[in-house]
Amino acid sequence: MSSPRSLTREKWAFGATILSGKLIGLMVVLAVMFTLPGLLPGVAHAAAPAKPTEIETSMMNTMNTVWTLVAAFLVFGMQAGFVMLEAGFARKRETVNVLMECVFDTCLCGILFYAVGYAFMFGWGNGFIGWHGDPSLKATGSWFFLQNTPDTYGSTGIPVIAHWIFQYAFADTCSTIVSGAMIGRTSFRGDILYSIGITGFIYPIIGHWAWGPDGWLALMGSKGNFFESLGQGFRDFAGSTVVHTIGGIASLAGAIVLGPRLGRIFKRDDKEKGGMPPGHNMLVAAVGTFILWFGWYGFNPGSTLSAMDVQGIGRVATNTTLAACAGGMIAMMLGLWMGNTKGKFDLGFTLNGCLGGLVAITCPCYWVSPLGATLLGAVAGAVVFGAMYFIEWLRIDDPVGAVAVHGFCGIWGTLSLGLFASGQFGITGPAGADNSAPVTGLFYGGGWSVLEAQAIGTFTIAAAVFAVAGIMMFVIQKLPYPWKLRVEPHGETGDGGLDVFDHGTEVYPADEEEISLKGLFEKETVPVQA
Amino acid sequence: MSSPRSLTREKWAFGATILSGKLIGLMVVLAVMFTLPGLLPGVAHAAAPAKPTEIETSMMNTMNTVWTLVAAFLVFGMQAGFVMLEAGFARKRETVNVLMECVFDTCLCGILFYAVGYAFMFGWGNGFIGWHGDPSLKATGSWFFLQNTPDTYGSTGIPVIAHWIFQYAFADTCSTIVSGAMIGRTSFRGDILYSIGITGFIYPIIGHWAWGPDGWLALMGSKGNFFESLGQGFRDFAGSTVVHTIGGIASLAGAIVLGPRLGRIFKRDDKEKGGMPPGHNMLVAAVGTFILWFGWYGFNPGSTLSAMDVQGIGRVATNTTLAACAGGMIAMMLGLWMGNTKGKFDLGFTLNGCLGGLVAITCPCYWVSPLGATLLGAVAGAVVFGAMYFIEWLRIDDPVGAVAVHGFCGIWGTLSLGLFASGQFGITGPAGADNSAPVTGLFYGGGWSVLEAQAIGTFTIAAAVFAVAGIMMFVIQKLPYPWKLRVEPHGETGDGGLDVFDHGTEVYPADEEEISLKGLFEKETVPVQA
Amino acid sequence: MSSPRSLTREKWAFGATILSGKLIGLMVVLAVMFTLPGLLPGVAHAAAPAKPTEIETSMMNTMNTVWTLVAAFLVFGMQAGFVMLEAGFARKRETVNVLMECVFDTCLCGILFYAVGYAFMFGWGNGFIGWHGDPSLKATGSWFFLQNTPDTYGSTGIPVIAHWIFQYAFADTCSTIVSGAMIGRTSFRGDILYSIGITGFIYPIIGHWAWGPDGWLALMGSKGNFFESLGQGFRDFAGSTVVHTIGGIASLAGAIVLGPRLGRIFKRDDKEKGGMPPGHNMLVAAVGTFILWFGWYGFNPGSTLSAMDVQGIGRVATNTTLAACAGGMIAMMLGLWMGNTKGKFDLGFTLNGCLGGLVAITCPCYWVSPLGATLLGAVAGAVVFGAMYFIEWLRIDDPVGAVAVHGFCGIWGTLSLGLFASGQFGITGPAGADNSAPVTGLFYGGGWSVLEAQAIGTFTIAAAVFAVAGIMMFVIQKLPYPWKLRVEPHGETGDGGLDVFDHGTEVYPADEEEISLKGLFEKETVPVQA
Give A171's contacts in chain B (Cβ within 8 Å).
none
In A36-53, which ranges are continuous DSSP H helix?
Answer: none
> Among positive and negative, which fits the CA dihedral B369, B375, B381, B384?
negative
Contact C165 A321 (CB under 8 A): yes
Contact A520 B265 (CB under 8 A): yes
Alpha-carbon gap, residue C142 to C130, rounded angstroms: 9
Cβ within 8 Å of residue A63, ≥6 positions away? A307, A308, B63, C59, C62, C63, C66
What pLDDT sits at residue A44? 34
For C35, the closest chain A residue by CA position comes to A39
Alpha-carbon gap, residue B244 to B383, rounded angstroms: 15
ipTM attached to this prediction: 0.88
Residue pair C319/C370 in contact by the 8 Å Cβ criterion: yes
C-alpha distances (whole Å) from A451 to each of A323, A378, A412, A459, C74 are 19, 19, 11, 12, 35
What pLDDT sits at residue C356? 98
Contact B481/C at CB under 8 A: no
Largest CA distance in chain B: 125
Residue C192 reports pLDDT greater than 60? yes
- Chain A nearest C-alpha distance from C253 (Å): 25
The amino acid at C432: G
Alpha-carbon gap, residue C304 to C68, rounded angstroms: 8
Contact B188/C at CB under 8 A: yes
Q: Within 10 Å of residue B41's Cβ, how many Cβ atoms? A: 7
Residue C28 reports pLDDT greater than 80? no
Cα A238 → chain centroid: 5
What pLDDT sits at residue B49? 56
The amino acid at C326: A
Task: Give the pLDDT confidence of C255-298 residue by residue, as tens digits.
Answer: 999 999 998 999 889 888 888 888 899 999 999 999 999 999 99
Name the residue among A40, A429, A45, A56 with its Cα closest to residue C58.
A56
Q: Coil, strand, or helix at residue A113?
A: helix
Q: What is the DSSP letter of C406?
A: I
Compute φ and ψ for C331, nearest 5 degrees: -60, -40
Residue A23 reports pLDDT greater than 60? no
Chains near C (3 or more Cβ pairs under 8 Å)? A, B
What pLDDT sits at residue B39? 36
What pLDDT sits at residue A50? 66
Give A324's contacts in chain C (Cβ within 8 Å).
107, 110
Alpha-carbon gap, residue A426 to A177, rounded angstroms: 30
Alpha-carbon gap, residue A139 to A144, rounded angstroms: 14
More confident residue, A516 or B380: B380
Contact B438/A at CB under 8 A: no
- Chain B nearest C-alpha distance from C346 (Å): 5
What pLDDT sits at residue C368? 98
Residues facing B159 on adjacent strands: B152
Task: Give the pLDDT confidence of C483-505 residue by residue, as tens digits.
Answer: 999 999 999 988 888 999 999 88
Contact A25/C at CB under 8 A: yes
> Among positive and negative, which fits the CA dihedral C463, C467, C472, C473?
positive
| Facing residue for B164 by CB, picked from C93, C280, C318 | C318
What pLDDT sits at residue C103? 97
**Spans of chain B below 50 pLDDT:** 1-7, 15, 28-47, 512-530
What pLDDT sits at residue C226? 86
Give A513's contacts in chain B (Cβ within 8 Å).
91, 277-278, 280
Compute φ and ψ for A422, nearest 5 degrees: -85, 0
* First and final C-alpha spacing in chain B: 116
Cα dihedral B314→B319→B321→B326 (10° resolution):
160
More confident residue, C168 or A222: C168
Contact C347 B106 (CB under 8 A): no
Q: What angle in degrees, to the nearest 10, is found between the helix axes of C160-180 and C188-197?
A: 140
Note the pTM of the prediction, 2 decimals: 0.89
Give B321's contacts in chain A (Cβ within 8 Å).
76, 110, 165, 168
Q: What's the rounded mean pLDDT across residues C147-167?
A: 95
| Facing residue for A69 by CB, picked from B91, B301, B322 | B301
What pLDDT sits at residue A390? 96
Mutate to test the interface with A, among C73, C305, C499 (most CBs of A within 10 A): C73
Residues facing C152 on adjacent strands: C159
Give B28's contacts in chain C (Cβ within 8 Å).
25, 28-29, 32
| Facing residue for A347 by CB, picked from C62, C100, C108 | C100
What pLDDT sits at residue B278? 83
Residue A139 reports pLDDT greater than 60? yes
Cα B332 → chain centroid: 25
In B437-487, which ranges are continuous DSSP H helix?
Answer: 449-477
| Averaged pLDDT of chain A | 89
Mutate to test the interface with A, among C34, C36, C55 (most CBs of A within 10 A): C55
Contact A311 C161 (CB under 8 A): yes
Contact A50/B at CB under 8 A: no
Confidence of residue A340 (pLDDT cuts 50, 70, 90): confident
Q: What's the rounded mean pLDDT across residues C229-241?
A: 95
Task: Give the pLDDT confidence of A475-510 residue by residue, as tens digits.
Answer: 999 999 899 999 999 999 888 889 999 999 888 885
- Chain A nearest C-alpha distance from C53 (Å): 6
Residue pair C139/C149 in contact by the 8 Å Cβ criterion: no
Name the residue among C507, C501, C491, C502 with its Cα closest to residue C261.
C491
Contact B31 C39 (CB under 8 A): yes
Name the residue among B441, B270, B447 with its Cα closest to residue B366.
B441
| Facing residue for C76 by CB, picked from A36, A297, A326 | A297
Give A290's contacts in chain C (Cβ within 8 Å).
77, 79-80, 83, 102-103, 106
Task: Give the pLDDT confidence of A7-22 residue by residue, as tens digits.
Answer: 455 555 555 555 555 5
Cβ within 8 Å of residue A117, ≥6 positions away? A109, A171, A199, A200, A203, A204
Contact B328 A106 (CB under 8 A): yes
More confident residue, B275 or C41: B275
**DSSP structure string for B18-41:** HHHHHHHHHHHHHHHHHH-TTSST
Give C59's contacts in chain A (Cβ within 8 Å).
56, 59-60, 63, 308
> Among positive and negative, which fits the CA dihedral C313, C314, C318, C321?
positive
Mutate to test the interface with A, among C30, C51, C507 (most CBs of A within 10 A): C507
- Chain C nearest C-alpha distance from A43 (Å): 11
Task: Give the pLDDT confidence of C303-343 residue by residue, as tens digits.
Answer: 999 999 999 999 999 999 999 999 999 999 999 999 888 99
Contact A146/B at CB under 8 A: yes
Q: What is the DSSP letter of C50?
A: P
Give B511's contacts in chain C (Cβ within 8 Å).
92
Alpha-carbon gap, residue A243 to A379, rounded angstroms: 20
Q: Coil, strand, or helix at residue A206?
A: helix
A 193-252 residues with CB < 8 A to C: none
Compute φ and ψ for A159, nearest 5 degrees: -55, 140
Alpha-carbon gap, residue A288 to A78, rounded angstroms: 8
Cβ within 8 Å of residue C230, ≥6 positions away? C220, C221, C449, C452, C453
Residue pair B319/B309 in contact by the 8 Å Cβ criterion: no
Residue pair C373/C359 in contact by the 8 Å Cβ criterion: no
Contact C16 A2 (CB under 8 A): yes
Contact A32 B37 (CB under 8 A): no
Contact B3/A at CB under 8 A: yes
Mutate to test the interface with A, among C113, C148, C165, C511 (most CBs of A within 10 A): C165
Q: Within 10 Å of residue A461's Cβ, how many Cβ atoms? A: 25
Residue pair C32/B31 in contact by the 8 Å Cβ criterion: yes
More confident residue, B139 or A26: B139
Could you tell me where the beta strands, DSSP code E, fall in C32-169?
124-125, 130-132
What pLDDT sits at residue A49? 56
| Facing residue for A52 by CB, picked from C55, C103, C510 | C55
Alpha-carbon gap, residue A400 to A348, rounded angstroms: 9
- Chain A nearest C-alpha distance from C290 (Å): 14
Mutate to test the interface with B, among C78, C310, C425, C490 (most CBs of B within 10 A): C310
Contact A505 B278 (CB under 8 A): yes
Task: Give the pLDDT confidence of A86-109 residue by residue, as tens digits.
Answer: 999 999 999 999 999 999 999 999
Contact A99 B329 (CB under 8 A): no
* First and final C-alpha spacing in chain A: 116
Give C343's contacts in chain B (Cβ within 8 Å).
504
Residue C395 reports pLDDT greater than 50? yes
